[in-house]
Amino acid sequence: MNKPAHAAIALGGNIGDTQTIVETLEAAIKTLATTPGIVVESQSSWYRTKAIGPTQPDYVNSCVVLKVTLSPVNLLTNLLKIEEKFGRVRTEHWGPRTLDLDLLLYDDIILNQFDLQIPHPRMHQRAFVLVPLAEIAGNWLYPISQQLIKDLVLEVDISDVQLLQG
C-alpha cells in the first residue's frame, strides 16, 4: 500500500439544468468516496462559471480534496472511469460535458507525462478552479511558483465565478 497523499480534484458539468448538474456532481463525489484508496476530506461550495471554448451553457464547478493511497496514474484512471459512468463523451475540445473531473494537485509533485500533467496545466490561470480550491485548500502551495492557492486566486479575474445559491 502506498503512503497516503493528498490530491485536489476539480469537478464541473454543464449539460442539463442546474439541479441535474449538481445532482450529477454530488453523485460523482459519492462515487469517489466509495472508491477503494480514496477518502473525500473536504468539498467546496458550488459555483456557476462561464464556459471557456465554444459557445455553451454555464458550468457548475466545485473542488474536493482527497486523501488517497492510489498513485497519480491510478487516480486519473479512476477519475476517467467515473466520468464515463456519468455519460462523459469526449467529442469536442472544451465542449459541453455531463461531468469533468480534473486532477489538479497531488501532494507537491510536478509530473509531466504524455497523458498526465500535475499540477493540471493552466489551473493557476483559471478562476473556475482557483476560487473553489481556495475555499478548501487556500494554504496549499502551488508547486511550480511556490505560491499559495489563496494568493494565486488574487491574480485572476473572478468576475465570471458566482457562488451558487442553494
**pLDDT one-digit tens code per residue, 27-49:** 999 999 999 999 999 999 999 99
Per the CB < 8 A criterion, the answer to whether 11 and 25 are in contact is: yes
- Helices marked H in the chain: 18-33, 72-85, 127-137, 149-152
**3-state DSSP call for residue 102?**
strand
Q: What is the pLDDT of residue 76?
A: 96
- Catalytic one of 17, 58, 90, 97: 97
Per the CB < 8 A criterion, the answer to whether 10 and 133 are in contact is: yes
Active site residue 88: yes
User: Cell digits for 35?
Assistant: 472508491
Residue 69's CB is within 10 A of a number of other CB atoms, namely 15
Q: Average of pLDDT values for 147-156? A: 97
Active site residue 17: no
Distance in angstroms between the alpha carbons of the first and the last residue of the chain:
39
CA distance 149 to 120: 13
Q: What is the pLDDT of residue 52?
A: 80
- Catalytic one of 88, 108, 151, 160: 88
Q: How confident is the model at residue 55 (pLDDT cuts 50, 70, 90)?
A: confident
- Catalytic one of 17, 48, 100, 157: 100
Q: Average of pLDDT values for 43-63? A: 91
Active site residue 102: yes
Query: Given a cut of 60, is residue 66 above it in pLDDT?
Result: yes
Which residue has cell 439544468?
17
What percent of the chain clears pLDDT 70, i.e. is strictly above it?
A: 93
Active site residue 107: no
Residues 6+ apart with CB under 8 A from 80: 101
Domain boundaries, the chain: 5-163
Between 149 and 54, name the one with better pLDDT.
Answer: 149
Residues 6+ apart with CB under 8 A from 132: 10, 44, 45, 47, 61, 62, 63
Q: What is the pLDDT of residue 90?
A: 58
* Mean pLDDT of all residues belonging to the chain: 92
- Residue range 72-104, pLDDT digits in tens: 999 999 999 999 888 766 555 556 778 999 999
Q: What is the pLDDT of residue 3?
A: 85
Between 140 and 114, name the one with better pLDDT.
Answer: 140
Q: What is the CA radius of gyration of the chain?
A: 15
Least confident of 14-18, 61-65, 140-144: 14-18
Residue 18's CB is within 10 A of a number of other CB atoms, namely 14
CATH architecture, range 5-163: 2-Layer Sandwich (3.30)
